Amino acid sequence: MGEYIKPNSIIHGDSRELLRQIAPDSVACSVWSPPYHVGKEYEAGMSYEDWLSLLKTVISLHMPILKPGGFLAVNIADILCFKDPDIPRIMAENKNRKRNDITRELVLETIAAHPGLNRYQIAQILGCSEQTVDRRLKGNNIRGGKYATQTRVKLVGGLIEQMGLDAGLYLYDRRIWVKDAAWENSRWHSNSYRSVDEFEYIYMFWKPGITVVDRDRLTKEEWVNWGSRAVWSFPSVRANDDHEAKFPLELPRRIIRLLTAPEDVVLDCFVGSGTTAVAALLEGRQYIGIDIEEKYVEMSKKACRRTLESMNGEQQLQLF
C-alpha cells in the first residue's frame, strides 16, 4: 500500500478502487448521493445488476475507513424506476388525455359494417390513426408507448439497509428531504395516478464505536427546527446546467454540522460538482472527494478554490 489519500483532495478515479487508499478509521462522516439508475448520461451502459454491485461494493468499503462511532449518510430517492421487460404492462385508459371520441364499441361497429378491411382502412373511415384503432381493440394504452418496455418501481430503503448490514454498519436514523413539486421528475402527475416526486431519503448508517453527541454544534433554533426533526424542507437545485444530478448545499451542510466536529474529515465518493466538499470547507471541516468523471473532478476543484478565496476575503475584511 502506498501513501494514503490526503485530506482536502479531489481525486479522479473509481471509488471501488480509491476508497481502499483512504487511511483506516479516518473519516468522520461520508456524505454522498449515488447514481439513481434513472438513465443519466454518466449511468450509460449500467444495468440494474451493475448498479446493485456498485452500491454494495462502495458501502462495504466504508467499514474500514470510517472512524469508530462515525457515520455514512446516503441521499437517494425512496423508489427506483428502471425498465423491466419481465413484468406486466400497465394498461391505462386515461380519459383526460384522449384526443378523440373513438371508442372500442365504435371501432367494432365499423369493422362489422366493413368486413375485410384492415385497421389502416378502418382508421381512415373513422378519421383517426391506426394506433388508435389498435389501442381500442387491444386495450394497450401503455405508459411509455405501445412498444416501450414497462417501467418497474422498486423501494430502495430495504436494499440500502441490507447493504449496510452486510458491511457491518447499522442504520442509525433517516431524514426525509422534501424538495418541491416543481422538480423535473414530476412529469408523471399529469397522466397517471402516480404521485409527484417531491422528496428523497437520507439514510444514516453508524459504525460501532463511541459517538460524541454535541448539541452545541447547532444553535437552539437550528436544533428545534431541523436538528431533531425527521423531515427537512428546502428547495432542490433550480438548474442542473453543469451537472445532471446536484443536491443543494443545505443538504450536506446540515449533515456535516449535525454529525461531525471541526477539522473532521468528510468524504464524498461521488463528489460530482463538489457540493459536499464546499459544505465541508464552509463548516471548518476537511474533505476528500472522488469522482469517476474527470470533468467533474475539475469542476469540484474549481468550486473549492472559489470557496476558499471567498472565505479568505471575508476573513481579511473582518480584520479591518
The DSSP secondary-structure symbol of 77 reads: -
pLDDT tens for 136-175 read 887 654 444 455 667 778 889 999 999 999 999 999 999 9
Rg over CA atoms, the chain: 25
Report the run of H or E that residue 290 belongs to, with start and end.
Answer: strand 286-291
| pLDDT given for residue 144 in this prediction | 46
Q: Which of 250, 251, 287 is nearest to 271 (CA)?
A: 287
Instruction: Considering only residues 173 and 44, tell me which one the structure prediction assigns the higher pLDDT.
Output: 173
Cα separations in angstroms, 177 against 57, 256, 266, 316: 25, 15, 20, 36
Model pTM above 0.85: no
Report the run of H or E that residue 122 belongs to, with start and end.
Answer: helix 119-126
pLDDT greater than 50 at residue 264: yes
Going along the chain from its start, the domains and CATH numbers come out as: 9-79+156-318 (3.40.50.150), 95-138 (1.10.10)
Q: What is the mean pLDDT of the chain?
A: 84
Instruction: Considering only residues 47 and 210, tell me which one the structure prediction assigns the higher pLDDT.
Output: 210
Contact between residue 289 and residue 14 where contact means Cβ atoms under 8 Å apart: no
